[in-house]
Structure 1
Amino acid sequence: MTVWDDLQGQDAVVTQLKLAAQGDSLTHAWLFTGPPGSGRSNAAKAFAAALNCDQDQLADRGCGSCASCHTILAETHPDVTFVRTEKVTITIDEARDLVSSAGNRPSNGRWRIIVVEDADRMAERTTNVLLKAIEEPTPRTIWMLCAPSPADVLVTIRSRCRPVALRVPPAADVARLLVRRDGVDPVLAERAARAAQSHVGIARRLARDADARERRLETVRFPLGLRGVTAAVMMADKLVKIATAEAGSSNEERDAAEKAALLATLGAPESGVLPPALRGQLKQLEEDQKRRAKRSITDSLDRTLTDLLSFYRDVLIVQMGNAVELVNVELQGEIEEFAARSTPEVTLARMDAINKARQRITTTNVAPLLAIESMASSLI
């Protein structure tokens, strides 16, 4: 098993990165782009492992079995830094720390590698901090930036990076990955991959969590009962509650574990009032957790609206003559009845309303419930 095995449906990208790892057109900065779930960060991680692989033969780099490959894939290698944020943006101070560490020589491997998984979550001022480091790189340092599209990164940055464009893998490839890597039943794996629209991470969650599958089906079925303004308001409220509950279920346990770990590290008493010197650190942790919770809810709402969008996508497919397979095959009869009651133009307008709500929620400070109520009214 090599580091490339989990990059399903990305044969062209694997070939490009393999050649670069062997010294063909290797450069100091790379930009990995592709839709959510295409595996941008996984491709960057595999490339980092291949570059620092312990194998002497170039053709064997990225073996997946040496110590360097194992530690890089586990994100514990001292020369490979992975940067991701669970807040709204990567801060300018974090960017400055990256630039500072980029100047250090590698301690074990051939290269010091910095993988920025959320390059699209940097403000222009923050991105400019990285610009000089990427323009004039230190020897033995490689930058790998990940973003949904080249347009999400400043032109001054992307013009200095070699592009690696990933595509959405076929659902069949994602299903095979779930069967091989996670031991999922083939029928369930195929259903999860199709429902996730080939997003590997979401497909894995759907395959392993029956409640997640039920919540998704409830979301997709909402348009079938949308008959008036009252139903639209109720649908909006339910959608927000579904997304908030899904985000909160994962955050509460993690927040408690982080707080306990911090108190243990600081040697704080198990009960009673904290000493003043420790209160500041605990308050900082709580503020970080609040920012993470806000992003978690935003991301969960976006996924929920993406599921809702898949219903109208299927309706449009039926209206246009069933040229491709439906995402929600289990609702085919109901989708066909729904499609017969409207036109492709109406369906496109409804899809546009959902996409506008997604944009408002992820890029502005609008209250999510207001944005989704406005969207739901447009779907009647």
Structure 2
Amino acid sequence: MARTLGELAAIARGQWRGSCEFDRPLAGVSTDTRQLCAGDVFVAIDGDRFDGHRFVADAFAGGAVAALVRYDRVDDLTAGDGPCLVVDDPLRAMARIARDHRRSFTGPVVGVTGSAGKTTAKEMIAAVLGHRFRVHKTPANENNEVGVPRSVLALDDSHEAAVFELAARQVGDIAYLADVVQPNIGVLLNIGTAHLEVFKSVERVAKAKGELLDYIRDESCVAFVNVDDCVIARGAKRTKGRLLGFGLRREGHFSGEGLVLDQEGCGHFSLQHTSFPRTSFQLRVPGRHNVYNALAAIAVGVECGIEPSESATVLSDFAPVGMRSEFLRNRGIRVINDCYNANP
């Protein structure tokens, strides 16, 4: 990271308690003392089942140079532990630091959201971009208010493109994460009934997921949306950036045609696009839904200078992510393991 400890207070909106080496460069940020590296700043996050402030002393013993702590917990800490940056909310302070760090990155940044398929689409997009770029991507499915800032903070000078998965459990979550990620490419996969116990209606799901489009701010940015999803289509024009569609049924800028599912349910189709010859695709992941994920990846690839024929080669080798459309075979029996989540 390019910042120093002295600059951290203004970015995180905090005040220092204890002496600090203000000129010391930041090595990194950690929320887990088990993964903390010497020179990191430890972020004391509290949750329903954990209390990060209990581990501040352990963080300093492990080599942390400072800790972000909540203002009403600072008196619980031992004065000799080490320098603490006192903030209103360590989690939000970490998001501010991540947003500041993101500004130093000039490559393509992709934000992916939707009710289902986010992780697979993220992995497909990263695979396609990896054909030309050194890609940073969200680890596993660290797609929430902890994982996304932490993933953004892992961006470094070796990366040339980034893909982040964004999830929501309430209205406002995607806006919070997109403000950190600042995507210049947005992908909106679908609107469904996941987490309806929280959102209460599909319309509120659409409102939450559609917040990504608000961060595609101008013509230098682009949003790719599933034109076959009627709920998405109704709200897609909220973006101020370029709006391009992908799909199978309705006409879009990236239209899959002639879809055939083979004996294992894997999609074979061709891409119709005005700027390229018709290109054939053969996927190794089953399901019509994964064809949409592939179309999103192809679209992002084209935006980043990767031709559909190159994406076809990459996607023909793409293997399912664990417990998502995963083939398991045993004694002649084939099982499709898709049990990571239980979206209806």
TM-score, with structure 2 as normaliser = 0.29
Higher relative contact order (CA 8 A, sep 6+): 1
Say which one has the larger Rg. Answer: 1
- Return the structure number with greater helix share: 1
TM-score, with structure 1 as normaliser = 0.27
- Return the structure number with greater strand share: 2
